[in-house]
Structure 1
């Protein structure tokens, strides 16, 4: 039964974790001298009437050569799985197609992974683009490439003091006058707003394209990862040389 690249990728993490665990355990075991040493001693009294003592012995619990063999077995699996994946990644390719059109042909898996990361960042970038104020009506100014609103005319006023006679003057009292201010039109403002932001429909269009390409890249990666692989056996020669 043939093996596919996605199956190798699925088991790689577990193989790597087990190899790391086995190597750590082997390292720690070899750092305990007591486990590596043994002793056997017997007692013989000086004469027949002397005290008889039982023999004493401690067995060797860890043998470095055996640890090397087990370590090689564990790491050989990791070396083989990783080699199988990396060799397959050199050969596994797929087209990136959007709406039935091939955008990039025969893309290797490593570059598809790069594209996925970049498109995730671009998705965030597009979502944060400045958008034109929806409360205004905008048209593009061909002379500047800015967006502009229609001119809006507003009145400029100025407060002018006015006198309000509350009581007319008499022979005994002066007139009672109250000063108030009246807003009097003195001119007109004509305002045109400009913006370098983007219309919401443009941002929506850009986001749609990014998301379509993201989906296409994911499909391409799945297709490439479904390629059959050839099992690579590199661990045996490596550890045959290292520990042999």
Structure 2
């Protein structure tokens, strides 16, 4: 007795769907062609023996609708049975999702494993796009603000103050010659601390590694679930015996 696995059914399902679709489409177009469904037999007899003799004419019926129905039923029966076998097995095919030797999710149905795979692809994209801290700065976590912060940086604030430079002292005949210029004078100090809600690059890499590890575990579990032995289901015959009897 040949043992069939779920992954074998999945492998043939696509081909069965395609061939069934072609068969049904061909059948539909065939029964629309009236000439193929029509036939005739015609003989000629003159009024008397002296009359012109003409050969008989006949056209054979090329398409019989009942046979087309039977062919469609046969093609669909195969599709119905393959799909039923897959869905019946999917209902019982399960596997554990195991990460680092620890069972994270026990007994997961194969359909849910497929859902997890798709969701983890989106999660991987999300995590890979998380903002990271500027590596040019030194960051420490501020428990009070619950954000990352840099060390305070002190800078000066200056103010331009006008100054006079005497080029020539005043005399009895000439006023003093004075040049006005400005001078930057320190008037205060700025102390700047930068805060950020981004994450250290190492944290993002850790999260990515977890997502990737779970992705691998889910794929492994799906392969294990798809190795489940199937029990062939034969539902198509009952359906089409009822429909086209």
| TM-score, normalised via structure 1 length | 0.93
Cα distance change of structure 1 residues 50 and 179 upon mapping to structure 2, 3 Å threshold: farther
2:197 equivalent to 1:196? yes
> Residue in 1 aligned with 2:99?
98
Matches within 5 A, 1:41-120: 41-120=42-121
CA drift of 1:154 comes to: 0.5
Cα distance change of structure 1 residues 167 and 18 upon mapping to structure 2, 3 Å threshold: farther
> Residue in 2 aligned with 1:126?
127
Q: After superposition, what is the alpha-carbon deviation per residue over 1:99-123, rounded to whole angstroms, capped at 9, x for unaligned?
A: 0000111111011111111111111
Mapped partners of 1:5, 1:232: distance in 2: 12
CA drift of 1:34 comes to: 1.4
Any stretches of 5+ residues in structure 1 without a counterpart?
none
2:144 equivalent to 1:143? yes
Mapped partners of 2:103, 2:200: distance in 1: 29
> Residue in 2 aligned with 1:205?
206
Aligned length: 244
Mapped partners of 1:171, 1:66: distance in 2: 134
Any stretches of 5+ residues in structure 2 without a counterpart?
none
Mapped partners of 2:76, 2:177: distance in 1: 107
Cα distance change of structure 1 residues 139 and 49 upon mapping to structure 2, 3 Å threshold: same
Mapped partners of 1:33, 1:171: distance in 2: 130
> Residue in 2 aligned with 1:231?
232
CA drift of 1:132 comes to: 1.0
1:23 is paired with a residue of what secondary structure? helix
2:203 equivalent to 1:214? no
Cα distance change of structure 1 residues 154 and 47 upon mapping to structure 2, 3 Å threshold: same
Mapped partners of 2:88, 2:75: distance in 1: 20
RMSD: 1.9
2:162 is paired with a residue of what secondary structure? strand
| TM-score, normalised via structure 2 length | 0.93
Mapped partners of 1:154, 1:187: distance in 2: 9
> Residue in 2 aligned with 1:184?
185
CA drift of 1:175 comes to: 5.9
Cα distance change of structure 1 residues 78 and 172 upon mapping to structure 2, 3 Å threshold: farther
Cα distance change of structure 1 residues 64 and 179 upon mapping to structure 2, 3 Å threshold: farther
